[in-house]
Structure 1
């Protein structure tokens, strides 16, 4: 089942946009009087930015559909692209709470607990729930979980290039996260970490794919009963 009310979908997406914008602002350095451009090199911030941009366009699409077809109907825009964005923000959620929190990780100086919660918890959970509540199920295909890995893998390649060019992050390292820091761990350990994470998120992707199919079957059965 999914909620067909486009007004509710629009309002919910606007909430995500507002929360994501607040999170990006609080982590931008501007509350302390100086824009910290290096913050936008962290995966967390980029994944939140992807969510912000996706849901801005999604809101525009929903408004157009309301004007054309009315309040009730599908409100999803570009489901496969949305899947990549949702997986990207899910990576942020899981890596932060299962890997980084225990290591006392900080992205920048003076970052508030609220700023951390918004980008690592609120935006990911709200984005995932948008798929659960408002998207028609059964639209994903079996290759999508592989496609969803593109964003995190491209980000890793980006961090390696940035490190070679001398980029230095708040933690004093050339890498934003300790588990991909080849200067400390060595390339072998880092490659194993990257491979392990890729496999883990591929498994999560196929769990989502399976849930999508199961929910689609349930929806069809309920509609036949009606």
Structure 2
């Protein structure tokens, strides 16, 4: 019971941080921030975390295989935000130490990953799950390319607007550059998904906070 109370308040904090980071991005820079994968993935985590808090309050089971497989997809979706930003985008920014920046790119992704690793029951994923976990980033890449090439909705504070990220800018860098970057990210994402699935397949009992 004590662990469940701790977990409940931990997820309340997770939801509050995710909502705060997402809200700050939109309030400070405009609704166009929703064109960024970063904001979309943090919005997804906000909604998911609020659902977890609600479900725990109602006494619903959040350890079923179906739920945990969906949660893993959300985990991977937010972690790509952290990894791609840290290695590819952070070196290019001038205003790194913004509260919303740290929340959306580091604190919320790593918090959500920790929740998945420490809380979720082991041995609940299917071998092919890491493949379908790639769906959201792939859909975003298609969305980003369609917007940049055809719709051309401007992206706030993006040097490559109407492309949200430089590695999607086909007119500037060409298809070879974009597909190479996209392919590299896809392979790394898929590989990371199998690592997560492998870690969660270990026979180490139930999640530490869910015993």
TM-score, scaled to structure 1: 0.82
After TM superposition, give the deviation of residue 60 of structure 1 in Å.
Answer: 1.5
The whole-number CA distance in structure 2 between the counterparts of 1:129 and 1:150 is: 22
Of 33, 43, 61, the residue aligned with 2:37 is: 43
Equivalent in 195, 210, 214 of residue 183 of structure 2: 195
Change in CA separation of 1:4 and 1:186 when aligned onto 2, cut-off 3 Å:
farther
* Partners of 2:117 and 2:200 within 8 A in 1: no
* Unpaired segments ≥5 residues, structure 2: 207-211
Q: Which residue of 2 aligns with 1:70?
A: none
Q: 2:123 is paired with a residue of what secondary structure?
A: coil
95, 114, 122: which one pairs with 1:137?
122
Query: What does 1:157-172 align with in structure 2 at a 5 Å threshold?
Result: 157-163=142-148, 164-169=150-155, 170-172=157-159
Give the 3 Å change call, closer, same or farther, for CA 38–56 of structure 1 in structure 2. Answer: same
Of the two, which has the highest radius of gyration? 1
Q: Which runs of 4+ in 1 moved over 3 A?
A: 74-77
- Aligned-residue CA RMSD in angstroms? 2.1
Q: Which residue of 1 aligns with 2:166?
A: 178
Aligned residues: 201
| Aligned-partner SS, 1:198 | helix
1:27 to 25, 28, 52: 25
Measured in 2, the distance between the counterparts of 1:192 and 1:83 equals: 26
1:86 to 75, 100, 104: 75
User: Unaligned regions of 5+ residues in structure 1, if any?
Assistant: 67-73, 221-226
Within 5 Å, which residues of 2 pair with 1:1-80?
5-28=3-26, 30-31=27-28, 36-65=30-59, 75-76=62-63, 78-80=67-69
Distance 1:105 1:75 in 2: 41
